[in-house]
Amino acid sequence: MIRLVHTIALSVLALALAPAAAEAAPAKRVVKKEHTSVVKRARVAKSYAAGRQHLSARKSRSVVRLAPPRPSFGQLAGLHSAEDELDLKSSVALVIDQDNGQILLRKNDSAVLPIASITKLMTGLVISEAKLPMDETITITQDDVDTEKGSSSRLRVGTALTRGELMHLSLMSSENRAAHALGRTYPGGMSAFVEAMNQKARILGMADTKYVEPTGLSSRNQSSAQDLARLVATASNDKMISELSTSPGHEVEVGRRTLRFGNTNRLVKNPAWDIGLQKTGYISEAGQCLVMQAKVAGRKLIMVFLDSAGKLSRIGDAERVRRWVETNSPTGVPLPNGNTVIRQVNG
């Protein structure tokens, strides 16, 4: 009897404790689940913070890349304050009728500024007039690598091309190593070539012009719009320079590779333009530059744009002049020398 009572008591006690045990087990699982959620949230927060820190670092680096470029010589001289009715973005401009010498537009045209790769027009003219063999092979050497601006080139050291191909790439694509190699291999070497450039400038009456190297990478290569108009007029009569400078593209074989080069002036592919000669140029000290000889409204015009403010603004200035000439008859105030000024702005 006592044993039976003891057994019943144990059973009652077990039944009493069962609900508590049943509730205790889920409680343990909830704690574990809550702990897991806390860990996950901490990891997400840590990852989010790291992501923001990485994004902030990238933004900081981007700010460094977007630092404003060095002002050009024209900007430092205040030439951009000069206004004109065509709203040209170039601080220097000159437009001349090549056949009769009429000056259709001038703006700071006597200012002497760096001319960047417009230099290569004189480089090409000296090489052309020297009558050197265009089929002679010239090898790019370490001497042709740019140490002035650190610019890149697709012509690796050891690349062998003909003088004619180097002329083509220099005038069409403004290839710096090609232009330097042309000067380096001139009879007498680079010093003789630079002297020949300056001598030709003197012969052409380019009194404001000085060259120190054949590429235009040096800001010490300087000229005025008036002088460059003389150069364009002379170079446009050279058939080889005219054809090479206006070529839309050219391919050269370099070992097992075929390299395709394009023209730095997009206007040569524009059917609205009839361009006989052109050359672009840019270094920070010179701004964006462009010289051309083009037929507009039946007239052969020489156009010079120097120190333009934006990447495409020199092209925009040329388009403004073309539309203006096409829609306006050339009338103006006669000058003592017989020329005619349509628009004259001097800053």
The CATH number linked to 325 is 3.40.710.10
- Which of 72, 90, 91, 120 is an active site residue? 120
Q: How many domains does the chain have?
A: 1
pLDDT on residue 27: 43
| CA 313 to chain centroid | 12
pLDDT on residue 61: 54
Q: What angle do CA 172, 173, 174 make, to 5 degrees?
A: 100
pLDDT on residue 67: 60
Instruction: Answer yes or no: is 23 within a domain.
Output: no
Q: Is 174 a catalytic residue?
A: yes
Q: Is 120 a catalytic residue?
A: yes
Instruction: Answer yes or no: is 26 within a domain.
Output: no
6-45 burial, b at 16+ Cβ within 10 Å, e below that, comes to eeeeeeeeeeeeeeeeeeeeeeeeeeeeeeeeeeeeeeee
Task: Compute and round to an integer the Cα radius of gyration of the chain.
Answer: 36
pLDDT on residue 310: 83
Instruction: Answer yes or no: is 253 within a domain.
Output: yes
In sequence order, the 6+-apart residues with CB closer than 8 A to the CB of 45 are none
What backbone phi and psi angles, to 5 degrees, belong to 207? -70, -25
CA pair distance 172, 9, nearest whole angstrom: 108
- Which of 72, 90, 91, 117 is an active site residue? 117
Instruction: Answer yes or no: is 299 within a domain.
Output: yes
Range of the domain at 94: 87-345
In sequence order, the 6+-apart residues with CB closer than 8 A to the CB of 120 are 170, 171, 174, 179, 214, 215, 216, 279, 281
pTM above 0.75, yes or no: yes
In sequence order, the 6+-apart residues with CB closer than 8 A to the CB of 266 are 315
CA dist 194 → 191, 216, 242, 292 (Å): 5, 12, 22, 23
3-state secondary structure of 60: helix
Q: Is 236 a catalytic residue?
A: no
Instruction: Answer yes or no: is 119 within a domain.
Output: yes
Q: What phi-psi label fits residue 256: left (phi over 0), alpha (psi between -120 and 50 degrees) or beta?
A: alpha
pLDDT on residue 21: 40
Q: pLDDT tens track of the chain, all 347 residues? A: 444 444 444 444 444 444 444 433 444 444 444 455 555 565 655 666 665 665 555 555 545 455 667 899 999 999 999 989 899 999 999 999 999 999 999 999 999 999 999 999 999 999 999 999 999 999 999 999 999 999 999 999 999 999 999 999 999 999 999 999 999 999 999 999 999 999 999 999 999 999 999 999 999 999 999 999 999 999 999 999 999 999 999 999 988 899 999 999 999 999 999 999 999 999 999 999 999 999 999 999 999 999 998 889 999 999 999 999 999 855 443 333 334 444 444 43
- Which of 173, 174, 218, 308 is an active site residue? 174
pLDDT on residue 18: 46
Instruction: Answer yes or no: is 329 within a domain.
Output: yes
The pairing of beta strand 287-296 with beta strand 249-254: unpaired
Instruction: Answer yes or no: is 29 within a domain.
Output: no
Instruction: Answer yes or no: is 255 within a domain.
Output: yes
CA pair distance 194, 174, nearest whole angstrom: 18
Burial (CB count within 10 angstroms: exposed 0-12, middle 13-18, buried 19+), residue 210: middle
CA dist 114 → 3, 144, 224 (Å): 117, 21, 9
pLDDT on residue 70: 85
